[in-house]
Amino acid sequence: MQKITVLIADDHTIVRRGLRSLLQTERDVEVVGEAETGRQAVQLALALRPDVVLMDIAMPMLSGLEATRQIIKQLPSTRVLILSSYNDDEYVHELTEAGGAGYLLKQADFTDVVRAIREAKKGNAFFSPAISRRLTDRYRETIVGGVPVRKRTDLLTSRENEVLQLIAEGGSNKQIAAELGISVKTVERHRQRLMDKLAIHDVAGLTRYAISKGLVEINVAAPKSVFPSP
């Protein structure tokens, strides 16, 4: 029997290990790798070419949604399932726009996770029941009442989203340039365009915006830094 290969992407070790342990009990599923940052998830997906990626949204270095976009763009046959604690319509909307195969809440039963993996492998979508009901209600409102479907209003490019997240995670221009493999001058241009587009002209404001969009996790009153202290 050919197994469904799965890559687990979550920045919490206990979550990754727990999922691996549970999935290993399924005869038709094989966990082929674990990623603890969004960027590592993209790199491992390209190297391992899994059938399915289980992706958390709040990932350091590169958000789960941006990692999803990059994986799907480069590996159209790989299906990405978001597994998140965020029960937010905006994230679900962005996931579907990015081409994701489904959205599961971390409170979901494990049987739903396995079912979602199997459905994703078949090319089908799968959403947690609570999210599925909301999507059905919204679709019904659109058809019956003529309510327009909300379109994405985020004007930032993929690279600008990457730079924004790294700024919010405490990266200097030099550190961001090294992480992305671009010049410091290019980082400065991206930073300026971010400020112009968002009408935000300080790092604190950009950080608050990134937090509001779920690009970074908050540790007490401040976002969790992923860069070493200078």
Note the pLDDT tens digit of each residue in 217-229. 655 334 445 565 5
Q: Quick check: 34 and 43 in contact, CB under 8 A?
A: no
Closest by Cα among 8, 59, 15 to 30: 8
The encoded tokens of residue 150 equal 């909300």
Split at pLDDT 50, 70, 90, the class of 214 is confident
> Residue 10's closest CA among 155, 225, 222, 217?
217
Question: Regarding predicted confidence, which is higher, 203 or 54?
Answer: 54
Residues of the chain with CATH 3.40.50.2300: 4-142
pLDDT higher than threshold 50 for residue 158: yes
Is the per-residue pLDDT at 187 higher than 60? yes
Contacts of residue 78, Cβ cutoff 8 Å, sequence gap at least 6: 45, 49, 50, 51, 52, 53, 71, 72
- In this prediction, residue 84 carries a pLDDT of 85
Query: Does the structure show a pLDDT above 50 at 150?
Result: no
Top CATH class of 4-142 equals alpha beta
Between 3.40.50.720, 1.10.10.10, 2.40.50.100, 3.80.10.10, what CATH number should domain 158-223 receive? Answer: 1.10.10.10
The secondary structure element, H or E, covering residue 218 is strand 218-219
* Per-residue pLDDT tens over the stretch 74-107: 999 999 999 888 777 777 878 888 888 999 988 8
Please give the Cα distance from 168 to 188 (Å, whole number): 15
Instruction: Please determine, for residue 146, whether its predicted confidence score (pLDDT) is greater than 70.
Output: no
| pLDDT recorded at residue 78 | 97
Question: CATH 1.10.10.10 in the chain, residues?
Answer: 158-223
